[in-house]
Structure 1
Amino acid sequence: MANPSTLTRRALLGVGGAAALAGTAAAWPRLTAADIPGRGQDALTILILGTSQDAAGRQAIADAFMQTHPDIPVLIQSVQATDWGDFFAKILTMVASGTQPDIVYTATEGAQLFAERLALPLDDYLLHDAEEMKDYFEDVHPSLIEAFMYKGSLYQLPLDFNAANMYLNLDVLERNGLEMPGEEWTKDDFTELLRGMKGDATPYYWTNRLFGGVVPWLYVNDTSFLVEERASGGEDFWSTFYPGEQRSGGYLWTGSNATDDRVHESFEHLRGLVSEGLAVRPEEGGGNTLVGLFASGRIGTTPAGGYWVQGLAEGGMRPEQYDVQFFPRWKTQRHQFGGAGYAVMKTTDKPDQAWEWIKYTASKEAMELAFPTPATTPTRRSMVNDNLYTGIGPEHWSRFYETLDRFPSSGPIPAPPQQAAVETALIRNVSTALSAGPDQVARSLESLDRDLRDVFAEEEA
């Protein structure tokens, strides 16, 4: 996700949805100690999703860390996977086989899986080094921190994030005599804008996954396909680092909400866009095809985060050819976001050294090494600036971070510990819901409800 790694959130999330973690261990990809070069060395082992080139790309951060901590050798290793779900499955396989990394870089999609089963809470370290850590927290929006809390404890320090904003192709707008919408635009304004593009470009292109799929439409309609609650706890943390903030001990997704009337309304809205020819069926394509289609003027609008800026530049699109706007308002303008950071594994025999790595990578020095280009949005507000976007980003690049300020109810991707099975159920039923008329939406949501109830029942068993 971070550059100098070549991975972006788009590449990491993949095209076809998450690989299911549910099922037997025999169904997981085989991964043995031989797959981890350097195993057995007395080094702090850090795993990332990616290729050997991605691991090499982070070597500058490791080298800088080891200059400050010459007594803590660091070994960064990559695990190749098709998406986050596949990555998490491989980590689980490694742990089960006795190959135990010290630190793993993971995203919101796996945050609660790690907190529940694999990771150590950071609370004691944070309070012990509170003075040292205040610089980080003063620079990071509290919504991002709350998203990585679980049942009152903080498990990761988010380093980058992306909200689901709306990208608009200004070439397409100009060809059709349309204006860039304002910040207060509504879903009805959005629909009319799409109608103005019909017959020219594909008006709305979206993908069938948790990020940028149906979930942003559920959020702006003040609902979700899961029951969302907040945990208690975290009072010492919030009073220490964000005095005056009324925050929770983290998000909890506790069951199915698929038969809620507003969920049906949101699905029906998307079905209507598809049936009117204003949007593609999401299974017709995925994230990897989007950059070229958008850059060539064949897509009018699509939801994406700040991670797309670098990809569009590499695809030959000039900053003046597109812009970004907040997601259109429905009943709310609540946005969806996802982030990522390092988790310290319970199995580590080097927890103190791992904490030093966590602290260092959250420093501005390390984050500037990690994010030299706009291939994602840094969680440090001070880094989202002209230096990062001038000459490469759209006119309103500031909206990437302003999303959190303008819409404080914005929340993370709905990703409980059973995230992979949850996403698999969602993807399957979104596909069927949009395959026919209104009656099919109701049938698919009933099916989604059954699938989700089964997932949560298995967790409780």
Structure 2
Amino acid sequence: MSGTNGALRQFTRRSALTALGAGIVGVTAASWPRLTGADIPGRGDNSLSIAIMGTAADAAARQKVIDAFAKVHPEIKVKVQAIQAVDWKDFFTKILTMVAAGTPPDVVYVATEGAQLFAEKLAHPLDEYLRRDADHMKEYFEDVHPSLVEAFMYKGSLFQLPIDWNAANMYYNATALTKAGLERPSDNWTHTDFRSTLAAMKKANPKDFTPYYWTNRLFGGVVPWLYANDTSFLKETKSPGGEWLWDGFYANDPSRSLRSGGYQWLEPNADDPRVFESFDYLRGLVKDGLGVRPEEGGGSALIGLFASNRIGTTPAGGYWVQGLHEAGMTENDFDVQFFPKWRTQRHQFGTAGYAIMKTAKDKDAAWEWVKFSSSREAMQIVFPTPNTTPARRSMVNEQLYAGTGPRNWKVFYDTLDKFPTTGPIPAPPQQAAVETALMKNVSLAVSGDERQLKDALTSMQRDLEIALRRQP
């Protein structure tokens, strides 16, 4: 990481969620190339074992949460393992290895990418606990937008409580914008307005300046453009059910009628004409030098490039704020706006929370940890700085962004309030295979002529059909 010296650093939604998972939990063991029962702290005793993706850093902050939990539940001993992983797919693979070895943890911190994999195969639903503790949990649900909760619904049951989340909003470099003679974009700017903004930035800045930087992955890549164009690379439907939750906690919410028993992605949709249209738009940006050919993963050194005024815009969430601040940017140097409108202005988001494993030794104790982690007390310990967006609306406030920016921090939670159909990362139980099928074809689709784009989408459709037939 770098500070104000301008050194380049890498910071992505995944590393932010890694830090979050590490920030909530207690004493952390090292990571091992091969995981066995002996590697899991608490295995062999009555401790509640919790697995997260992360490192052994920030031990002091983690211990504060453990100490706070111990005051409420001194009878529950918690021991945690932070598992180092390249990304969520790698982390989930390691958890599956532990399960296959007969040494699963009791609780796992899971992001949207793995929510349905866990719900389908590994996790225990929270329904019974939420019904039992409804009076206690009412305050939590009043403070959390239903869109985030619905992302963790699966076939009518709820498997996780959202702790943090991030939408793919559009960050812009204020210096580059001003240099181009432009003002802050309007809330309802369009994809054509966005292209015009990039063209003005390119004209006003040096040759090594990149107006638009994007990555090749499920979050913040092509998917936000597909959502804005009212489509996706997978056909999206919703399961029935969930009335027990929505009528119990969100009966008076204006978006109640939109809620369901959970998202389903059962068929590929890469042959949709709107998918072609969206990719063709991005292909045009790349062809005209307004955007880069997307890099796989999170984008190495992206924050450093942005802070050195070499990138004009990029899609990212609230997790970017602290990184930009540490890179030396002030609230006058950058800002954030809603993702541009196309046929819709639906946004994409990812969220994360704890899942109780079916094999947990003491599910009641695991629930107490999950419940405490969702409390305002715990989340205030976890989120002292804006390195992600808290799921609790009341915590996304001026105090959190004081001294760091952005000036228009309200965009983060307003994304859900103004665009209630905003949806999660499309991640069915076969997420790993689906993401591979997507990433394999994206760069090819936007790097050549129209014929190459059509061939790439045909390949993507075929690869997705195979991926969705696989058992998760």
Normalised TM-score (structure 2):
0.91
Q: SS where residue 295 of structure 2 aligns? A: helix
Structure 1 pair 266–113 and aligned structure 2 pair: CA distance change class (3 A): same
Query: Which whole-Å deviations, capped at 9, do the CAs of 1:383-421 have from their partners, x for residues lacking one?
Result: 001110111121100110000001111000000000111
Question: For 1:163, which of 156, 161, 167 is the aligned residue?
Answer: 167
Aligned to 2:460: 448
8 Å Cα contact 1:160/1:379 also seen in 2? yes
8 Å Cα contact 1:194/1:203 also seen in 2? yes
State the distance in 1 between where 2:296 and 2:371 align. 43
Query: Which whole-Å deviations, capped at 9, do the CAs of 1:291-339 have from their partners, x for residues lacking one?
Result: 0000110000000000000010111111110110000000000000000
More displaced 10-residue stretch of structure 1: 428-437 or 280-289: 280-289
State the distance in 1 between where 2:467 and 2:298 align. 26
Letter in 2 for 1:388: L
State the distance in 1 between where 2:177 and 2:296 align. 23
Q: SS where residue 236 of structure 2 aligns? A: strand
- C-alpha deviation, 1:432, in angstroms: 1.3
User: For 1:136-147, what aligned pairs fall within 5 Å after superposition?
Assistant: 136-147=140-151
- C-alpha deviation, 1:287, in angstroms: 2.7
8 Å Cα contact 1:105/1:342 also seen in 2? yes
Within the alignment, does 1:94 sit opposite 2:113 as a pair? no
Aligned to 1:151: 155
Aligned to 1:185: 189
State the distance in 2 between where 1:104 and 1:132 align. 23
Aligned to 1:85: 89
Aligned length: 441
Aligned to 1:65: 69
8 Å Cα contact 1:295/1:312 also seen in 2? yes
Question: For 1:259, which of 243, 266, 271 is the aligned residue?
Answer: 271
Aligned to 2:402: 390
Structure 1 pair 205–7 and aligned structure 2 pair: CA distance change class (3 A): closer
Aligned to 1:307: 319
8 Å Cα contact 2:106/2:359 also seen in 1? yes
Question: For 1:295, which of 298, 307, 317 is the aligned residue?
Answer: 307
More displaced 10-residue stretch of structure 1: 32-41 or 336-345: 32-41
State the distance in 1 between where 2:44 and 2:296 align. 45
Aligned to 1:211: 219
8 Å Cα contact 1:10/1:287 also seen in 2? no
Question: For 1:51, which of 49, 55, 67 is the aligned residue?
Answer: 55
- C-alpha deviation, 1:177, in angstroms: 1.5
Q: SS where residue 71 of structure 1 aligns? A: coil
Q: SS where residue 198 of structure 1 aligns? A: helix
Query: Which whole-Å deviations, capped at 9, do the CAs of 1:262-289 have from their partners, x for residues lacking one?
Result: 0000001000000000000002884331
8 Å Cα contact 2:51/2:82 also seen in 1? yes
Q: SS where residue 82 of structure 1 aligns? A: coil
State the distance in 2 between where 1:52 and 1:407 align. 38
More displaced 10-residue stretch of structure 1: 168-177 or 86-95: 168-177
User: For 1:182-331, what aligned pairs fall within 5 Å after superposition?
Assistant: 182-199=186-203, 200=205, 201-244=209-252, 245-246=256-257, 247-283=259-295, 286-331=298-343
Aligned to 1:24: none
State the distance in 1 between where 2:14 and 2:93 align. 19
Aligned to 1:21: none
Q: SS where residue 52 of structure 2 aligns? A: strand
Runs of at least 5 residues in structure 2 that lack an aligned partner in the other structure: 1-9, 19-32
Letter in 2 for 1:342: Y
Query: Which whole-Å deviations, capped at 9, do the CAs of 1:110-159 have from their partners, x for residues lacking one?
Result: 00000001100000100010000000000000010001100000000001
- C-alpha deviation, 1:35, in angstroms: 3.1
Instruction: Percent identity, please.
Output: 64
State the distance in 2 between where 1:56 and 1:93 align. 30
Structure 1 pair 263–198 and aligned structure 2 pair: CA distance change class (3 A): same
8 Å Cα contact 1:167/1:303 also seen in 2? yes
Structure 1 pair 303–233 and aligned structure 2 pair: CA distance change class (3 A): same
Letter in 2 for 1:384: V
Question: For 1:418, which of 430, 438, 453 is the aligned residue?
Answer: 430
Q: SS where residue 332 of structure 2 aligns? A: helix
Question: For 1:357, which of 369, 391, 394 is the aligned residue?
Answer: 369
User: For 1:111-122, what aligned pairs fall within 5 Å after superposition?
Assistant: 111-122=115-126
State the distance in 2 between where 1:371 and 1:287 align. 24
- C-alpha deviation, 1:13, in angstroms: 7.8
8 Å Cα contact 1:8/1:375 also seen in 2? no
Query: Which whole-Å deviations, capped at 9, do the CAs of 1:27-55 have from their partners, x for residues lacking one?
Result: xx742224324432321111110111256
- C-alpha deviation, 1:434, in angstroms: 1.9
- Structural RMSD (CA): 1.7
8 Å Cα contact 1:8/1:376 also seen in 2? no
State the distance in 2 between where 1:171 and 1:55 align. 37
State the distance in 2 between where 1:11 and 1:240 align. 35
- C-alpha deviation, 1:343, in angstroms: 0.3
8 Å Cα contact 2:430/2:470 also seen in 1? no
